[in-house]
Each structure stands twice: as C-alpha cells, then as structure tokens.
Structure 1
Amino acid sequence: MSTRKAVVEKYLEGFRRGDHDMILSCLTDDVVWDMYGYTTLQGRRAFAAEIDNEAFTGHPTITVDSLVEEGDTVVAAGGGSAVRKDGDVLHFRFADVFHFDGDLVGRLETYQVNLG
C-alpha cells in the first residue's frame, strides 16, 4: 500500500474509532473540506468542529470498496451508516477525493448520498 493510501486508511479509521487526533494528524493546517451540497470549511479548527456533529451518537460504520491513486490524489469510494441521536440510522454512500500536499491531505472533496 502506498504512503498516501495509508494516510487515507488512517483518516477513515479515525472516524471509525471517533479518534479526532488521528483524523486531524492526516491534514495540513490550512486544509479545505468541500462537502458538496452542504458546506465548505477551511482549516483544522473548522474541520474539528464539523467532526463533532451533535446530531449523531457513537461512531459510524465505514466500508471502503475501492481506493484509487493517481499523482497527488487518492479517491476512496464506499458506504456506511451512522446512528442519529433520535435512534434512526442514516445509511450513505460516498466518494471522497483526497488531494495531498506532501504526505498530508490539503484538500478533501466529499460526495455523499444519504440513503435513509
């Protein structure tokens, strides 16, 4: 596995574990996170605030179907689920495009479809 794919795996594992330090260690200080159809965030502080989403409880289940790397970019495609505080389960499919600056993610583009 390449170094960049390993960083993406570490990032996703951080979400699975709810380990914010693990997630943030994969990002540049000025990271940009484009969540299409939702918002754009800039910087680790804004990123950290978003991963503390008050609407959910516990840790998400995330599966990766494929990791594709070309140049400074790694794309992760997969799916998962998360439990809302009201007990409903959100199922989703995603494609995350990780743009690297050296060995850290400098920009992340998230395409997510919520299935219900």
Structure 2
Amino acid sequence: MRMGYRIILRNLGIQKTNNMSPNKQTVQDYMDGFRATDHDKILGCLTDDVVWVMPGAYHHEGKDAFDNEIENPNFKGKPLIKVFRMTEENDVVIAEGAVTCSFINGDVLDAVFCDVFEMRDTKIQKLTSYLMQIAINKP
C-alpha cells in the first residue's frame, strides 16, 4: 500500500523531500567523502580546530593531523561504510554503522562503529570514534 502512495505522489509531480538536518547532512557528506577517499570533501566538513579521538588508540588535533589519518598506511583501497542510524540532539550527531576494509597484507577487517560528532556551525568540531572489531578474515 505504501508503495502505491509513492507512485501516486510521483505521478502528481510531488517528490519526497530530504528532511535531514544541516548537521546530519554534514555527517552524511563526511561519510560519503570517506567512502570515496575524497580528502577535500572530508576536510570541508571540519572546523579548523577539529579534534578526532579514538579512545585508547589516538588523539588528533587540527585538519592536517586529521588529513594524515584519512588514508591510514595499514589499509589499502576504499572502505565500505554502512550507516544504520543517525541520531541528533542539539549540536551532537551520533552515527552507528559498520565498516569493512582491507589491510595491506590482504586481511579484511569487519567492524562496527559508533561515531559521536560534536558540531559547530554545521561543521564537525570533535569526533569521538568507538570501533569494535567483529572479525579479521584471512584471504
């Protein structure tokens, strides 16, 4: 029944609009940038004083440090990133998802993540990334 409703709307020239907030759109653009390994797109989503923290792993400050981590030397190719849900309250967006990527030695990392984005003027000011490895698959 719902599909029929969409067809009727389309036939009437009514398009479903994207109700994504500006902050969520920035996070979506950021994720799209990572999927494409597009440094400019990713960096365009950040404040100049951005902080990226992965508790127990690293703490980066500034766009240059962030840029250096976009293509980690331990990995090759582009990551497969799936975002299952984005939740927003005030200037915080939380993205939950999964990532698959290849190590340079051929192993494949499967992990789930929860990224907490603290926003300022629709830009990412701080990112805290929580990553849990599901498996490393040997070729």
Q: Taking structure 2 as the reference length, what is the TM-score of the superposition?
A: 0.82
Residue 93 of structure 2: aligned partner: 74
Name 1:106's counterpart in structure 2.
Answer: 125
- Check if 1:15 corresponds to 2:48: no
Aligned equivalents of 1:59 and 1:107: distance in 2? 23
The partner residue of 1:97 within 104, 108, 116 is 116
Letter in 2 for 1:100: M
Per the alignment, residue 83 of structure 1 pairs with 102
CA distance in 2, matches of 1:36, 1:60: 21
Residues 20-65 of structure 1 deviation map (CA, whole Å, 9 limit, x = unaligned): 1111000001101111120111000000011121111110000011
Q: Which residue of 2 aligns with 1:34?
A: 53
Contact 2:95/2:115 (<8 A) preserved: yes
Q: Which has the higher strand share?
A: 1
Unaligned residue ranges in structure 2 (runs of 5+): 1-19
Displacement of 1:80 in angstroms is 1.5
- Distance (whole Å) between structure 2 residues aligned to residue 58 and residue 29 of structure 1: 27
Correspondence 1:5 to 2:24: yes
Matched to 2:108, the amino acid is V
The reply to whether residue 47 of structure 1 matches residue 76 of structure 2 is: no
Q: Tell me, yes or no, if the aligned pair for 2:37 and 2:71 is still in contact at 8 Å.
A: no
Query: How many percent identity over aligned positions?
Result: 43
CA distance in 2, matches of 1:50, 1:100: 20
Total equivalences in the alignment? 116
